[in-house]
């Protein structure tokens, strides 16, 4: 995100202020200083020569004054580059460093706030599995705490069925049941895992060969680990002889 790059740039600037200029920048100024010192030496030599020629009457005072002005400019340039080099080699003043570090901390705080906002808008499913149904399309607005997708968790699946009141006393938790369905292999068994303690009325859609009572108990049987049925697939369960 852009905030992270801004924080990184400010951190690099603070490090540069803390440690002084980079070696490449110093090398450029040193080269300029060497050239200025060479120009200074040449200007000094020209002035010394013209002073001797002035005594012999071969040059004018104007020419000597020009050489003196050139020499003064060369001296000023050398002094300026020397001062610049010293300033670049030294770390920044404490006030400048504090300002740069404050900018870095402010940028890092913005990064942290942006990350927190992003995390708050990211929802992670508590289970891994296969998405069975998407309840909202892109552009639709979901209500608070409303489910958005339906997930079929990984691992062994369960069969939900209903036990009539007359058959309730015949079954116990852990009993094996014979399962049959269209396309299922013969002899498939499941294990009764749970029976609800509160009765319900028979739901409007229930797959049963013999409905003798409207009062039923919701139960769940666990499928074997290597057996997988399609969600909502109708099955029949029977007690083993």
pLDDT of amino acid 77: 86
pLDDT digit string, tens, across residues 179-217: 888 877 788 888 888 888 887 766 555 555 555 456 677
Pick 54 or 156 by higher pLDDT.
54
- Cα R_g (the chain), whole angstroms: 44
Reported as a pLDDT band with limits 50, 70 and 90, residue 9 is low
Domains (range + CATH), the chain: 2-120 (1.10.287.470), 155-239 (2.40.30)
Whether residue 97 is predicted with pLDDT greater than 70 in this model: the reply is no
Mean pLDDT of 30-51: 88
Contact 193, 221 (CB under 8 A): yes
> In this predicted structure, what is the pLDDT of residue 234?
84
221 vs 241: CA distance, rounded Å: 18
User: What's the pLDDT at 1?
Assistant: 47
Give the pLDDT of residue 229: 76
pLDDT higher than threshold 50 for residue 2: no
pLDDT tier for residue 47 given thresholds of 50, 70 and 90: confident
Going by their DSSP bridges, the two strands 176-180 and 188-195 should be labelled as: antiparallel
Question: In the predicted model, what is the mean pLDDT of the chain?
Answer: 77
Residue 39 pLDDT greater than 50, yes or no: yes
Q: What is the pLDDT of residue 212?
A: 47
Supply the pTM of this predicted model: 0.39
Predicted local confidence at residue 12, as pLDDT:
66
| pLDDT of 13 over the 50 cut | yes
Q: Is 116 exposed, middle or buried (0-12, 13-18, 19+ CB in 10 A)?
A: exposed
**100 or 110, which is more confident:** 110
Q: Enter the tokens of residue 68.
A: 């003196």
- Of 136 and 101, the one with more pLDDT: 136
Q: Are 180 and 235 in contact (CB under 8 A)?
A: yes
Please tell me the least confidently modeled range out of 22-26, 61-65, 144-148, 177-181. Answer: 22-26
Whole-angstrom distance, CA of residue 89 vs CA of residue 111: 32
Alpha-helix runs per DSSP H in the chain: 2-19, 23-56, 61-89, 94-120
- Residue 160's CB: how many other CB atoms inside 10 A? 11
Select the more confidently predicted residue: 187 or 87.
Answer: 187
Residue 219 has pLDDT above 60, yes or no: yes
> For 42-70, what is the mean pLDDT?
84
Task: Round to whole Å and give the CA distance between 120 and 106.
Answer: 21
- Quickly state the pLDDT bin for 98 (edges 50, 70, 90): low
């Amino acid at each position: 995100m852009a905030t992270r790059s801004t924080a990184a740039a400010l951190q690099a600037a603070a490090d540069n202020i803390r440690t002084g200029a980079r070696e490449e920048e110093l090398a450029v100024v040193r080269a300029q200083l060497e050239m200025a010192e060479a120009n200074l030496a040449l200007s000094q030599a020209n002035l010394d020569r013209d002073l001797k020629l002035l005594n012999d009457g071969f040059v004018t005072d104007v020419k000597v004054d020009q050489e003196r002005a050139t020499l003064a400019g060369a001296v000023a340039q050398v002094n300026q580059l020397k001062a610049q080099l010293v300033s670049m080699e030294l770390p920044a003043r404490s006030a400048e460093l504090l300002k740069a570090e404050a900018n870095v901390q402010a940028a890092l705080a913005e990064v942290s706030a942006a990350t927190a906002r992003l995390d708050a808008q990211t929802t992670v499913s508590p289970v891994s599995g296969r998405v069975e149904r998407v309840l909202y399309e892109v552009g639709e607005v979901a209500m608070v705490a409303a489910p958005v997708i339906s997930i079929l968790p990984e691992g062994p699946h369960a069969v939900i069925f209903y036990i009539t009141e007359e058959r309730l006393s015949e079954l116990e938790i852990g009993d094996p049941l014979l399962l049959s369905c269209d396309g299922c292999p013969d002899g498939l068994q499941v294990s009764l895992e749970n029976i609800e303690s509160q009765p319900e009325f028979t739901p409007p859609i229930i797959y049963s060969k013999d409905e003798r009572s409207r009062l039923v108990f919701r139960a769940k049987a666990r499928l074997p680990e290597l057996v997988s049925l399609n969600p909502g697939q109708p099955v029949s369960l029977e007690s083993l002889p």
